[in-house]
Structure 1
Amino acid sequence: MSSTEHSQNQRSKKAESATDATVKNSESAAVRGTGGPGNPSARTRTHPRNRRTTVFAPRLQALLDEHTGKDLVRLEPDTIGIAGAELSDRVLAARRATETERPTFKPLHGRSISKAEAASVMRTVGRDVRAALDGPDPLPADTDLSGPWPITGHRFLRDLVLRDDPWRLRVLMSRLLEIDTKVTWTTIVTGAALPRRPRPGPHLTQLANLVAEAETYQDRRYAMGMYRRAAAPVCFTVSTLVANALWLGSPFDDSASDRAVLYEAMRLLPPSWNLLRNRSPEYPAVDDRIGPGDDILMLPLLTHRDPALWDAPDEFRPERWDALDPDDTPGYLPFGHVSERCWGRHLVMPLAELLLGHIRRTGLIVAPGQRTAEVPLLGLLGVRTVHVGHRDKVRRT
């Protein structure tokens, strides 16, 4: 694995290692329903979501059990976890993220990605997404989105956004590559070396044209890596977000807007549940509990469930967003800090609303027979599999 690939895994490895320190002797995960633990009244309600249990990976469950409501915890001798909204805001405002801390545009194949280049690539992806959404019928009324989620949504988005891009590029959207960087690297290297590379033209997405226009093997390899970096997170995030929303709240009250449902899903299951900031001289000045050698792991997973910030923090309540502005709500970080919002958020929400609205209009619900869903530690924070079907066809027990 290259040094660049190693740096790409730094955040997830730090999170995995740090959360391991919070796990007790038992490795069996506690379970937490959407109504919240210790809330018998929520459990006895008749809504189907209150009969479901979300099973977090043991390390995630340990974080929730032991540290919810705390503003700062020491996770390891050299790692501080921060979940307090006010402290999170001050730490994230202390300095901008470095190139190795950025979630998407870390150095690629040993080459730094400037902010100007990153912005240009995101504009390119944005044009491709808008072209897909502005098409004559991006999501026909008879489209069947039943099946296991998030993979069903991921495949639909891949075909919608990437359209007629060649398979050597579309395969880079595989969810398997989200976890295994070695397979990702091999796929990119092989694709860049294949003969008969695609020809530029309007039949390709603008992002694919960057690959087609690359002259050398090194440039093609870099362009394919950028294709993966830019397009895959959009498909991954949207499909995961919609799957989470379905699991947490389906079937939804008619009064709840699609956007409010999605905001609430991102509160309970933020796709990016941690943000790494490496040790830096600015941080001890923010709080004297932070040492000069401490790395910092911001924990939106905990901030989003802090009882000091949220009424009924473990309950799925889309209506809370009727009175809240997600861009100005303390401690709400689904797309990062206000100083460095994720560039992809304006792509994620329209696509997620498109899919969720179609699911609701076509009468799809979570299969009542599914009572548990696992949330693994690796990758985006989301339920592993949600079975979705038509109201009159899904299994009722």
Structure 2
Amino acid sequence: MGNLAAYETDRLGFLLATREEHGDLVGFDGRTALVHGPALVSAVLRDRDGSFEIDENFLQQRLSIAAVDEVFRSRSLLNPGLRPAALLGVAPHVVQLAHEQLSGRAAAGVAFDPVPVFERVISAAVARHFFGDEGAGLPELTGRLLDALAQVIGNPWALPASFPTPTRRRIRRRHLELRGEVVSRLEARSRRPERYADLAARVVTARAAAHEARLPLDRVADLLIGSLLAAQRVPAAAAAWMSMLVADHPEWQTRARDDETVARAVVLEALRLYPPTWVIMRRATRNVRLGGFAFAPGHHFLISPYVVHRDPRVFEEPATFRPQRWMSQQSSPEGYVPFGAGRHRCPGSNLATVTLVALLRSIVRLGDVTRAGDVTPDARTTLLPSGLQLRVCAAVPGFLAADVAAASVRAAALTG
């Protein structure tokens, strides 16, 4: 059992304490090491020869080395649709969706739980980027699968995915339901690619033009499903944390209203302090050495961005909210890993940043943000602000409506 009982009592507190008490590389149990040091974290995540690999897919199914390589190759199909130039139409849609979800709440001055509200905004914007108007029904199906997966992700007592428990059967049903919808949309784009101008169409076209043409459509569907899952609760949690932070530091609300660079700095700092993906796992595929120690194949390495981001060797005043640290910085330091690093870095990092900046500016331009509730970081799955309630008080009637109108014009121009 190792340190499991102490870890389950307070996961984040336990990990921070092990770094303070024992240093950069800590034995957790007989098959797991905690990697805290920035240089060691970089060695694991930026590994080039496949010594440290991902362990499972989004369904928690164990991956072979060949399967990992296939996932890595197939991810290249997504890349063209996730580059900054391909994301120009995303921000206007986020503004429109934010207005739909928040304007009534702002007018009434009511407090609300931000995570489900932001989930609806972000998942709808991403589904639209992936599938155009046909993406409208996918966020609900994605949420159903995500809710089922939440019962086992991060649960040390959950049986392996190969055991047909009621929860695993529910996950399978919801996965197949969502996959069927995605495959049908991909088939339509395979037959008539010229009719579509969305990311899914780009993926299908890239698949046909490359050696990945032999990759079955259901595998391509799973590639997109993994991205849809990542675009739901994780960015919504990040949006909730950044909203809490600007509520606590109202001077940054004023600055972010008028300056997109400031808004981006706030987003980067929120991701530093409260990275939604607060833990990353890698598995040794061969005999490896790390920090002067030898590890056998199959050994697991646990990295917590939450801990690394609070290392004073990486960030000055690491526990303090200081967006200004990103205002003049040209590149991220080695220890900044909210999206991971290396070849398994999250391919949607640009999409997440664009979405969060647009959402933050929409919120603060709607009105003054305040918050209530005793907030506790909940690290059971995605790092969530448990207990957070937000209130947006509209300051200038029609202010955001003008933004929406301008965004609509920009979106129409960008989409032709």
TM-score, reference length from structure 2: 0.67
- 1:18/1:391 CA distance change after superposition, 3 Å: farther
Counterpart check, 1:347 vs 2:351 = yes
- Look up the match of 1:207: 200
Equivalent position amino acid for 2:200 in 1? L
Deviation for aligned residue 1:99 = 6.3
Alpha carbons 2:272, 2:338 under 8 Å: kept: yes
Percent of pairs with identical residues: 20
- Look up the match of 2:41: 88
Structure 1: distance between partners of 2:325 and 2:318: 11
Structure 2: distance between partners of 1:390 and 1:118: 38
Deviations 1:85-143 (A, max 9, x none): 122223334445566448779989999334332111343466997364276x6524844
- Look up the match of 2:236: 239
Match of 2:139 among 160, 167, 170: 170
Counterpart check, 1:372 vs 2:375 = yes
Deviation for aligned residue 1:22 = 4.0
- Look up the match of 1:67: 19
Counterpart check, 1:304 vs 2:257 = no
Structure 2: distance between partners of 1:186 and 1:105: 12
Equivalent position amino acid for 2:117 in 1? T
- Look up the match of 2:212: none
Deviation for aligned residue 1:375 = 1.5
Q: Report the structure, 1 or 2, having the larger helix content.
A: 2
The equivalences for 1:44-59 within 5 A come to 58-59=10-11
- Look up the match of 1:157: 122
Deviations 1:194-227 (A, max 9, x none): 8x9555575795428979xx9xxx9565454333
- Look up the match of 2:150: 179
Q: Alignment partner of 2:113: what SS?
A: strand
Unpaired segments ≥5 residues, structure 1: 1-16, 28-57
Alpha carbons 1:208, 1:227 under 8 Å: kept: no
- Look up the match of 2:398: none
Deviations 1:3-56 (A, max 9, x none): xxxxxxxxxxxxxx87625449xx4xxxxxxxxxxxxxxxxxxxxxxxxxxxxx
Deviation for aligned residue 1:301 = 1.8
Alpha carbons 1:150, 1:384 under 8 Å: kept: no
The equivalences for 1:15-54 within 5 A come to 20=4, 22-23=6-7, 27=9
Counterpart check, 1:119 vs 2:76 = yes
Equivalent position amino acid for 2:291 in 1? D
- Look up the match of 2:411: none
Q: Alignment partner of 2:95: what SS?
A: coil
- 1:242/1:388 CA distance change after superposition, 3 Å: same
- Look up the match of 1:292: 296
Structure 2: distance between partners of 1:356 and 1:374: 20
Alpha carbons 2:123, 2:231 under 8 Å: kept: no
Equivalent position amino acid for 1:273 in 2? W
Equivalent position amino acid for 1:315 in 2? T
Match of 2:334 among 306, 330, 334: 330
Aligned residues: 334
Equivalent position amino acid for 1:361 in 2? R
- 1:340/1:189 CA distance change after superposition, 3 Å: closer
Structure 2: distance between partners of 1:138 and 1:242: 12
Structure 2: distance between partners of 1:292 and 1:334: 28
Structure 1: distance between partners of 2:120 and 2:177: 22
- 1:335/1:159 CA distance change after superposition, 3 Å: closer
Unpaired segments ≥5 residues, structure 2: 106-111, 153-167, 208-214, 257-261, 396-416
Structure 2: distance between partners of 1:389 and 1:74: 44
- Look up the match of 1:189: 176
Alpha carbons 1:129, 1:347 under 8 Å: kept: no
Deviation for aligned residue 1:242 = 1.2
- Look up the match of 2:210: none
Match of 1:383 among 365, 382, 385: 385
Equivalent position amino acid for 1:116 in 2? R
Deviations 1:41-89 (A, max 9, x none): xxxxxxxxxxxxxxxxx22222223424821111112211111112222
- 1:142/1:90 CA distance change after superposition, 3 Å: closer
Structure 2: distance between partners of 1:319 and 1:219: 47
- 1:87/1:248 CA distance change after superposition, 3 Å: same
- Look up the match of 1:148: 113
Equivalent position amino acid for 1:149 in 2? P
- 1:134/1:245 CA distance change after superposition, 3 Å: closer
Alpha carbons 1:373, 1:383 under 8 Å: kept: yes
